[in-house]
Structure 1
């Protein structure tokens, strides 16, 4: 049922869930998924994580501990709806600046609208671009964050290299992603929930089950914690480590550009 996870050597660029697709085809398919779910994306995160994504994201921001300074610059990638960026700005007492980058314009539109309602527009910049080809100069950001987005990037190694390039010396990478459950009983329960319930909830909430079938399958194909940590190290990062959340349903990976 769960498929075989991709190793640290790559393979996500041709993996669309459990389907193999041609190189270059995945990005279009993934974009279509997020155009379909943009307006209900955060609701579906509640469903997919049983509400725990809010706790995990708060833990991610606590680990980041953003400086309360107008000079503090964060790049939040695949963060279109603004969920992480809003938390970062609020944690900095509305002093930090976050650039929200996403390849999907529908997701960015949702985020920009939400930012306006929250009165955070002055602290945020929304950029439509590809994580594999960031439109920023070297050494531009104090931190790079990405939550539940890295597994949707076709060439993860390229995205990690780009993260390293745009970070300042002493900058930090934080990646929050669904990962490999390391508790046998929880693994069985989570598999049952994921494959039986989540697509049905997707159908009910958005009218389309297929995007959520892909999202569930993509979690099972993503490299496990140790393999992904190895990819981060290979990209040049130091002091790489990860913390499991809720028995490994999600994991927070950290690395530094030293």
Structure 2
């Protein structure tokens, strides 16, 4: 499944190319900081990663929805629905604020705004789900979602999508060009109720930096939700999924989007992402309180589809 673009690509550490299928490791010397990170199975200088990943998402932006459906057989929609329903708390209903003509004092006090930050959410997939659930489930229109994405092409796709909805030209949704690892300065400390990032954090050059920024902007008691590809625990299913990813997805990318290389990177980046317990520990290291170091009820993460996809949650103390 195509992913979103948060800020660049996964963790800031040098990695070597696995023995299994994939492009050979880059041997270019690092420049700038001298540190390297992985772009799929290649080692690249940290400072080049953002540009490389940006190229991937510029290439796939216009075919993002088509490829997501094709590669996941539509299951990504269920993952996202479950993610949003789990993350959005019960909200108080909104009331129409225009006074009755004969009773100017009939306006009720407005509810406080519930502020969400959806990072790497350029196409609006998660943001629109948040707004729809708040409206349909709780009759709440006092929710504002700001989408932050580093890829302009993805933001443009999101703006086109929002233009077809009832949120068009309302303050309930906003788009910002920005980096997950250094959020725009107008997003103040302790100002956000809910932070979400779906299929984007593995593309960050430094996952700890992105989590640190999430912690900074969340209010005390605010929640973080991360939706990302996980690791399948069953050995037989894991190998079947791996074969599907490496053998089928790049071909599908070529057929549907005319771009096999970008989708080769995407499946390699899934392979390089930390395991569920490893990522849960990264969240704890950033300061978040999580559930127990296990999957399921009371745990730090929840698996979907045998662990193909997972969601991690945390709270800012």
| TM-score bracket, shorter-length normalisation | over 0.9
**Alpha-carbon displacement from aligned partner over 1:108-153 (angstroms, at most 9, x marks no partner):** 0000110011121311000000000011110111000000000011
Counterpart for residue 40 of structure 1: 63
Counterpart for residue 237 of structure 2: 186
Question: Relative to structure 1, is the Cα distance of residues 9 and 225 closer, same or farther in structure 2, using a 3 angstrom cutoff?
Answer: farther
Cα shift at 1:8? 8.5
Identify unmatched segments of 5+ residues in structure 1: 1-6
**Equivalent of 2:182, from 129, 133, 143?**
133
Structure 1 distance, partners of 2:12, 2:155, is 31
**Equivalent of 1:28, from 51, 72, 80?**
51
Counterpart for residue 308 of structure 2: 249
**Alpha-carbon displacement from aligned partner over 1:133-178 (angstroms, at most 9, x marks no partner):** 0111101110000000000111110000000000011100000000
**Alpha-carbon displacement from aligned partner over 1:21-45 (angstroms, at most 9, x marks no partner):** 0111111000000000001112212
2:154 counterpart of 1:120: no
2:134 counterpart of 1:92: yes
Higher relative contact order (CA 8 A, sep 6+): 1
Secondary structure, counterpart of 1:43 in structure 2: helix
Query: Contact between 1:8 and 1:230, CA under 8 Å: does it hold in 2?
Result: no
Question: Relative to structure 1, is the Cα distance of residues 208 and 124 closer, same or farther in structure 2, using a 3 angstrom cutoff?
Answer: same
Question: Relative to structure 1, is the Cα distance of residues 189 and 198 closer, same or farther in structure 2, using a 3 angstrom cutoff?
Answer: same
Question: Relative to structure 1, is the Cα distance of residues 20 and 165 closer, same or farther in structure 2, using a 3 angstrom cutoff?
Answer: same
Identify unmatched segments of 5+ residues in structure 2: 1-9, 16-35, 93-111, 292-299
TM-score, normalised to structure 2's length? 0.76
**Equivalent of 2:248, from 174, 191, 197?**
197
2:285 counterpart of 1:234: yes
Query: Contact between 1:8 and 1:231, CA under 8 Å: does it hold in 2?
Result: no
TM-score, normalised to structure 1's length? 0.93
Structure 2 distance, partners of 1:179, 1:11, is 21
Higher share of residues assigned helix? 1
2:257 counterpart of 1:206: yes
Structure 1 distance, partners of 2:201, 2:73, is 20
Cα shift at 1:68? 3.4
